[in-house]
Structure 1
Amino acid sequence: MPAFTPDSPTAQAWGAPPSARYERLAAPFRPLFARIGAGAVEREVSRRLPATELGWLKDSGFTALRVPVEFGGAGASLAELFALLTELGQADSNLVQALRSHFGFAESILNSRDVQRRERWLERLGRGETVGPANSETGDAKREAFSTRLLADGANWRLEGSKFYTTGALFADWIDVGATTPDGARVTATVRRDAPGVEVVDDWNGFGQTLTASGTAHFREVAVKADEVIDKDQRFAYSPAFYQLFHLANLAGIGRAMSDEVARAVAARTRTFSIGNADRVAQDPQILAVVGQVRSAAYCAGAIATQNALALERAFEARHSPEQEQAVAIAELEVCQSLNVVSDLIIDAAGRLFDALGASATLRPQALDRFWRNARTLASHNPRVYKARIVGDFAVNGTAPPEQWKIGTV
């Protein structure tokens, strides 16, 4: 047998690691992933938010993966980051989703040209501090402006407004808030979650990703320091592809989790049908084929996410260089080309797995429905319906993918 540790993805045939050092980097986190995974069904059934588990990830240094070593982080590459996110998604996809904006904020800091801001935030992130989002607004919010306002208050600012889809903000130390200034500029203001006037509400009622605290946040006369406000357009250039790849890596993790669970359930099952092909389900070739289809979907999703991560890595390496624009466009196209394929693979497999099991698999305590609900919810972000058109327009007309996009009314 190859000299792989029993719990490595390579030994489980999920594919080779993204770097020579990956096994060393991942080894300290795997017992934590196992601990998180052991409580996933109980949390889902009881709807217990994973605040404790996110605390474990902070304490372990997981949230500082991309932070350079000199600032207390691991200095992980993007390919290493997304491989670890897939492993975490296998344990519990809610936690990956809850950390999506945190890692996006860290990426923006790594790309920042503002040396003082970069160093200030890398020190905070290296200490394990986390950042949640507050950008999306519901109702008749405009595409080109936020209804949340940033008002002048002497040399500093004051924040007023409400947000929804604040995924993970309830668990974070800081919140990065999208707002509009009196002169119409779109900015982001970063405030402490425990600052006076900040209220984060756990009112997320979506049928999937139920433990991500993706609900409402209110900001009432919140004081904001001038140096914590930046122009919204200062986001890193490959951010659309980065945030979308978070979903794809998470979907790959969901695929691995449901593959493992259905395989264990089939192996343990003693009841079988008289019209089946064997006295034990574990020897029934039709059932084994179903399990194989689920596992194959998970494998392909992970392999595609790995290729996407390598494209993002090239975009990161080209930052602030003449090659950046092309590298970013290619990364965006690679993710667009992957989105529908990965989503369809995992959504289909999440329904197909029940064909390998009996009606008892639908009982609520097993929570096997969470895989479809979570996958369908992830696939509803950043609408995949437009991605095939973007890819086709490039293939036929050479049209580059659109840059940063917005949602709201005209």
Structure 2
Amino acid sequence: MTSQNSREKHPLSYGTDYEQLAARFRPIFNRIAEGALERERTRALPYEQIVWLKEAGFGAVRVPREYGGAGASLPQLVQLLIELAEADSSLPQALRGHFAFVEDRISAAPGSAQDKWLQRFVAGEIVGNAWTEVGAVKIGDVITRVSRRGNQWVVNGTKYYSTGSIFADWIDVYAQRDDTGADVIAAVSTHQSGVKQSDDWDGFGQRTTGSGTSVFENASVDEENIIDFSTRFKYQTAFYQLVLIAVIAGTGRAALRDISHEVRKRTRVYSHGNAPRVSEDAQVQQVVGQIAARVYAAEAAAVRAAEPSQRAYETRFGADRDAEHAANVAAEIESAKAQVAVAGLILQATTDLFNALGASGTSENKLLDRHWRNARTAASHNPLIYKERIVGDWEINGKEPPFVWQIGDSRTAA
């Protein structure tokens, strides 16, 4: 925990009354849920729904109250994202890059640059994500460049899987400076001709996250928005994973909601069933009960996994570097454990729900398969097998986890 003097100099988000906070957004979540099935069916991007969240201040829930935000803790943010994911699992994933950038800015050194960003978040501005490059890119390298053109800094490059950027006012671009070769984050405004975005994500799940291609052609960026990557908040990998865990847990909640509804209204029964109504069939009740238990465990694991990241955030401004380091290690390990546990629980739940229905449960009109597809897609972002190995190595040998994950072409790797 930080000292009182540090708190006065740099207000932090320690948490708020969760029920009061959630009550602000639940009516919006309900409106979002109403159109989720049709958006899934037609692959309609949720532009309007993102605007609802922006206007309600959802993007500023982690901003300290002293700056006009809600002051939510990380476990509270995860709980909110789970509730949003129950309404539409694409939306919290579309906002994953935004909340990561917010986390970095509330963890940054106090000053005018930070103040500007916090004001933007409170005003409803949203930040997207553009980090991944494909093709012959060596692991650890980046092709996108930030360079000086006369009196202006510009960004040139192409990024893929730029989740949420198509909805955003700004994009968090991972790039390299031409002059020093340093890795940086360039916060690029989308309101310019030098930024071109496409909705060309072709995954079988999470189809409406806006995870397409972003092309930067001499896109201007203010010098104060070129941020040294070495200053990035240290628990970022854990944070990114926490959002995906929330997406998966919320997907489980949606699956439980839908299977309960389907069983409740079903009138056709099997001759070899156990009751005159499906809702009274003990075996069907057992299936739904198992799903409910798995969803409960997944949600509890997701919220608990956010606790060490909250400690890492708080100790960032203290004087105890050992405590900060320990919190960062715990954030990585616990998010990895939760990823493995939550993915397993919800992938099983979204498969087992069909045991409570007949073949009609596979109808395209119901799209119940979307829950498995969405959970499977979110669970594939950071392969489970590697997280399991990292956790095992920590438990057996005490080896610390990596804090930055990268991907690249093995043919060009050193």
TM-score by length of 1: 0.93
Q: Which residue in the other structure is 1:408 paired with?
A: 408
Q: Which residue in the other structure is 1:106 paired with?
A: 102
Q: Which residue in the other structure is 2:34 paired with?
A: 38
Q: Which residue in the other structure is 2:280 paired with?
A: 283
User: Displacement of 1:157 after TM fit?
Assistant: 1.4
The aligned runs of 1:217-366 (5 Å cut-off) are 217-321=214-318, 322=321, 323-366=323-366
SS of 1:236's equivalent in the other structure is coil
User: Displacement of 1:20 after TM fit?
Assistant: 7.1
SS of 1:161's equivalent in the other structure is strand
User: Displacement of 1:184 after TM fit?
Assistant: 2.3
Tell me if the contact between 2:15 and 2:76 (Cα under 8 Å) persists in the aligned partners: yes
User: How many aligned positions are there?
Assistant: 393
- Kindly indicate whether residue 202 of structure 2 is the aligned counterpart of residue 179 of structure 1: no
SS of 2:210's equivalent in the other structure is coil
Alpha-carbon RMSD across the aligned residues, in angstroms, is 1.4
Q: Deviations over 1:363-400 (max 9, x none)?
A: 11211111001000001012221111111111111111
The amino acid of 2:332's aligned partner reads E
SS of 2:154's equivalent in the other structure is strand
Q: C-alpha separation between the residues in 2 aligned to 1:69 and 1:313? A: 16
SS of 1:207's equivalent in the other structure is coil
Query: Runs of at least 4 residues of structure 1 off by over 3 A?
Result: none
Pair 109,19 (structure 1): closer, same or farther in 2 beyond 3 Å? closer
SS of 2:203's equivalent in the other structure is coil
- The equivalent position to 1:141 in structure 2, one of 137, 152, 161, is 137
Q: Which residue in the other structure is 1:390 paired with?
A: 390
User: Displacement of 1:96 after TM fit?
Assistant: 0.5
Q: C-alpha separation between the residues in 2 aligned to 1:347 and 1:408? A: 28
SS of 1:208's equivalent in the other structure is coil
Pair 19,107 (structure 1): closer, same or farther in 2 beyond 3 Å? closer
SS of 1:151's equivalent in the other structure is strand
SS of 1:364's equivalent in the other structure is coil
Tell me if the contact between 1:155 and 1:226 (Cα under 8 Å) persists in the aligned partners: no
The amino acid of 1:402's aligned partner reads P
Which structure 2 segments of 5+ residues have no match?
Answer: 1-13
SS of 1:55's equivalent in the other structure is helix
The aligned runs of 1:1-20 (5 Å cut-off) are none
Q: Which residue in the other structure is 2:8 paired with?
A: none
Q: Which residue in the other structure is 1:160 paired with?
A: 156
SS of 1:36's equivalent in the other structure is helix
SS of 1:66's equivalent in the other structure is coil
Q: C-alpha separation between the residues in 2 aligned to 1:217 and 1:71? A: 31
Q: Identify which range, 179-188 or 343-352, moves more after superposition.
A: 179-188
Tell me if the contact between 1:201 and 1:216 (Cα under 8 Å) persists in the aligned partners: yes
Tell me if the contact between 2:16 and 2:73 (Cα under 8 Å) persists in the aligned partners: no
Q: C-alpha separation between the residues in 2 aligned to 1:302 and 1:315? A: 21
Q: Deviations over 1:266-302 (max 9, x none)?
A: 0110001101111111111111111111111110000
Which structure 1 segments of 5+ residues have no match?
Answer: 1-17
Q: C-alpha separation between the residues in 2 aligned to 1:232 and 1:280? A: 60
User: Displacement of 1:144 after TM fit?
Assistant: 2.1
Q: Which residue in the other structure is 1:381 paired with?
A: 381
Tell me if the contact between 1:145 and 1:184 (Cα under 8 Å) persists in the aligned partners: no
User: Displacement of 1:156 after TM fit?
Assistant: 3.3
User: Displacement of 1:128 after TM fit?
Assistant: 0.6
SS of 2:157's equivalent in the other structure is strand
User: Displacement of 1:181 after TM fit?
Assistant: 1.9
Tell me if the contact between 2:142 and 2:175 (Cα under 8 Å) persists in the aligned partners: yes
Q: C-alpha separation between the residues in 1 aligned to 2:277 and 2:114? A: 60
SS of 1:195's equivalent in the other structure is coil
The amino acid of 1:205's aligned partner reads D
Residue identity (%): 47
Q: C-alpha separation between the residues in 1 aligned to 2:51 and 2:175? A: 29
Tell me if the contact between 2:76 and 2:303 (Cα under 8 Å) persists in the aligned partners: no
User: Displacement of 1:19 after TM fit?
Assistant: 7.0
Q: Deviations over 1:87-141 (max 9, x none)?
A: 0011000000000010000000011115222111001111010000111011122
Q: C-alpha separation between the residues in 1 aligned to 2:324 and 2:273? A: 57
The amino acid of 2:133's aligned partner reads E
